[in-house]
Amino acid sequence: MTEINLLTRKDFVSNQMVRWCPGCGDYAILAQLQRILPDMGLPKEDIVFISGIGCSSRFPYYMDTYGIHSIHGRAPTLATGLKLANPNLQVWVITGDGDGLSIGGNHLLHVLRRNVDLNIILFNNRIYGLTKGQYSPTSLPGAKTKSSPMGSIEPSFNPLSVAIGAEATFVARTVAANVKHMAEMFKRAAAHKGTSFVEVYQNCVIFNNGTWDYASDPKTKHDHTIELEDGKPLIFGKDKDKGIRLNGLDPEVVSLDAVAESELLVHHESAPTASLAYLLSRMRHPEFPEPIGVFRCVETPSYEREVMAQIETAVQQKGRGDLRSLYYAADTWEVQTEANGRETQFGRGKNTLPGGTDEEYMGVMFRNEATSDPYGLSTETLAALNPPMPLTASVDISLKAAIGKLQALNVGLMALIEDTGKLAGVFTEGDIFRKLNCDAQELETAMVKDYMTAPVTTLKKDNTIADALYLMSIHKFRHILIVDEEGNPAGALSFRSVARYLEKYQI
């Protein structure tokens, strides 16, 4: 039998020193995630933590798993890409009320809407902690901070209402001080197939200390929070003597001394619609006890599962794609004609100017319409450079023979001709660098036509030197094939030829 090495919490503790302020609620969140991960039964290499920017976003450094400390607000985007690339990974997104709900709000909305199989933990301390105490989207109206010294005039963002409104399939809330409950929420989130969103009430002891005291203090939390349990009535209080019932469409607090338990609102986390979950998310302190627990949990197909199904369907219908062919596919663009009727002779295979090229820019740079041209680049034709005839060979030449000819003549371009005499393509030193793999190959049997560049970008001798320089710059060419009116090879231009032309100007 194969021996199974069981992981423990210590296996998920990295060798990095944890750098949060003493008393910060982040420590409790870190500890509980490290504690529950061994129960997932996954190897560490299948777990990834991705964060944005903020105090919470140091999290990946402290987990002995794969991790990405990404950019402000974009953690859901990177996580989506990673999950699509490897659906077998368990991906956790660590964000804060600033990172996730301000600059990252749009990204958060769409990852929830798409239902990517990610676990999003939002640390909510109602303040920007890392940048030293500015008010955040969840700061309460009237909050006096370094960026709102007279008190914030903005309404407070409600993360759970936003998540439920975005059709999130798993929505929960917990409190960092309630470690047992928090660990259970993390386990539930990890088990959910789809986007799970967990808001954690977490205290910032430096810039917003005590903001969640009513929900974390043992003396007050029983009267100011209500723990949701699926299929059970909403009852709270230290003595379990109060409850929530509906009065029309509005919730109200009632005493169980005066109201029967059967009249209370019953929680259903998998209700067909999100109406109940949204109603619960609007119950806020001090008017109501604030619910903690799972607000909504429904199963719908996850985003990456649907994408993979589409890919499989496409493969069945069209076969597997050829990435190599895609990389070296020909460019296409619209043919442009100058006022004199002459084609501007740019482009891959069509001798045309790329569609959308800025004519004014071209004039300024190369055609002497707006600047001086002391070197004659926009008037002197390529014929003045006396381009030599190119090295030519049959398209059926072997790869070994083609490389040998280039090496023997110390040239960087070979024109390849079909049996009919028609130009088929070119083989350059660039093709050797880009297209030849670094594994063992049978160079004698491999055909150069499988590695050549086709169709061919060409010029004619009556093109200007400026035309050639422009083409070299946009395509990063070192060589360009020159053809006659019938399209047959008539010369080979190298950047070295242009450099020699410019030597007489002592540039």
Nearest 5°: phi and psi at 120? -105, 120
Non-local (6+) Cβ contacts of 309 within 8 A are none
Determine the pLDDT at residue 447: 86
Query: Strands 242-247 and 250-255, how do they pair?
Result: antiparallel
pLDDT of residue 2: 43
CB 132 within 8 A of CB 146: yes
CA atoms within 13 A on the CB side of 101: 26
pLDDT score, position 332: 55
- Indicate the helix (H) or strand (E) that contains 238: none
Residues 6+ apart with CB under 8 A from 499: none
The confidence score (pLDDT) of residue 121 equals 98
Which DSSP string corresponds to 284-309?
-TTTSPEEEEEEEE-----HHHHHHH
**Calpha distance 116→172 (Å, rounded):** 17
Say how many CA atoms lie within 13 Å of 103 toward its Cβ: 13
444-475 b/e with 16+ CB inside 10 Å = b? eeeebbebbbbebbbbbbebbbbbbbbbbeee
Tokens at residue 3, please?
A: 């021996």
What is the predicted pLDDT for the residue at 364?
39
Longest Cα–Cα distance of the chain, Å, equals 105
Q: Where do the domains of the chain lie, and which CATH numbers do they carry? A: 9-232+267-304 (3.40.50.970), 233-266 (no CATH), 359-503 (3.10.580.10)
Going by their DSSP bridges, the two strands 423-428 and 242-247 should be labelled as unpaired
In this structure, what is the dihedral angle of CA atoms 234, 236, 240, 241, given to the nearest 10 degrees? -80
DSSP, residue by residue, 301-342:
--HHHHHHHHHHHHHHHH----HHHHHTPPP-----B-TTS-
Report the side by side order of strands in the sheet with 489-494. Answer: 458-459, 479-483, 489-494
Q: What is the pLDDT along the chain (507 residues), one digit of tens a residue?
A: 444 468 999 999 999 999 999 999 999 999 999 999 999 999 999 999 999 999 999 999 999 999 999 999 999 999 999 999 999 999 999 999 999 999 999 999 999 999 999 999 999 999 999 999 999 999 999 999 999 999 999 999 999 999 999 999 999 999 999 999 999 999 999 999 999 999 999 999 999 999 999 999 999 999 999 999 999 999 999 999 999 999 999 999 999 999 999 999 999 999 999 999 999 999 999 999 999 999 999 999 999 999 999 999 999 998 888 877 776 666 555 566 655 555 544 444 333 344 444 443 344 344 444 445 666 777 888 888 888 898 999 988 988 888 888 888 888 889 898 888 888 889 888 778 777 764 445 677 888 888 888 878 889 998 888 888 888 887 778 888 899 888 888 888 888 888 887 777 655
Q: What is the pLDDT of residue 361?
A: 39
Q: What is the pTM of this model?
A: 0.67
Q: How far apart are CA 421 and CA 489, in angstroms?
A: 10
